Amino acid sequence: MTEEEKIWAEMVSGEIYDATHPALLRRLEATREKIWEFNNLRPSQVAEQKAILHELLGGHGKWFQINQPFRCDYGSNIYIGEGFFANFNLTILDEAEVRMGDNVFIGPNVSIYTACHPLDAETRNKAVEWSEPVRIGNNVWIGGSVTILPGVTIGDNVVIGAGSVVTRDIASDSLAVGNPARIIKKL
């Protein structure tokens, strides 16, 4: 295993890793170049947008749409299902995998995070991190300005109310709202 493969494997597996490793910084820069290109295409350039996303994402269904602007760290750890729609300003920090099922609808200004940082300032200042994956089931609607934290799993047939901060798992067939998000109704 090369040094680059080793640091990548550490990052995506949830081990503590050096976030300033040159191999990761090169990948981040390459992704930012692709994201810049995607975000600066004309809205009518749908085929060109899809081509960039096809190259960038880890996997996707046949039909999907991500509105500009979109931001992510690596892209290759993002997997979206069939019938995926994301409105403006989706941000995904994909140090670990982010897997979303079929028919997931995401409102504007949603953020999904997998990167974790130490609470202790001295350790945090050493630029060490770890990551925890995020899983989102099928038939999920995530309202505008929702934040989903590392390690969260959202089940199938879930609605997350606008402005919520999802700090823990949400069971299937639920409506969850608030900060922190809590299930207020079974669907």
From first to last of its 187 residues, what are the pLDDT tens digits of the chain? 898 999 999 999 999 999 999 999 999 999 999 999 999 999 999 999 999 999 999 999 999 999 999 999 999 999 999 999 999 999 999 999 999 999 999 999 999 999 999 999 999 999 999 999 999 999 999 999 999 999 999 999 999 999 999 999 999 999 999 999 999 999 9
How many angstroms separate the CA atoms of 141 and 173, rounded?
A: 11
Candidates 21, 54, 60, 117; catalytic one: 117
How many angstroms separate the CA atoms of 71 and 119, rounded?
A: 25
State the pLDDT at residue 169. 98
CB of 37 closer than 8 Å to CB of 56: no
CB of 126 closer than 8 Å to CB of 106: no
Residue 99, token pair as written in the block: 């897997």
Q: Is 117 a catalytic residue?
A: yes
CB of 90 closer than 8 Å to CB of 110: yes
CB neighbours of residue 179 within 10 Å: 11
Q: What is the DSSP letter of 120?
A: S
- For the chain, which domains are there? 3-186 (2.160.10.10)
144, exposed or middle or buried, with CB in 10 Å at 0-12, 13-18, 19+? Answer: middle
Pairing outcome for strands 128-131 and 115-116 = antiparallel
How many angstroms separate the CA atoms of 17 and 6, rounded?
A: 10
State the pLDDT at residue 75. 98
State the pLDDT at residue 1. 83
State the pLDDT at residue 153. 98
Q: Extract long-range pairs of 17-24: CB within 8 Å, 24+ residues apart.
A: 17/128, 17/129, 17/130, 18/127, 18/128, 19/115, 19/127, 19/128, 19/129, 20/127
- Which alpha helices (H) appear in the chain, and where do they start and end? 3-13, 22-39, 46-56, 121-124
How many angstroms separate the CA atoms of 16 and 10, rounded?
A: 7
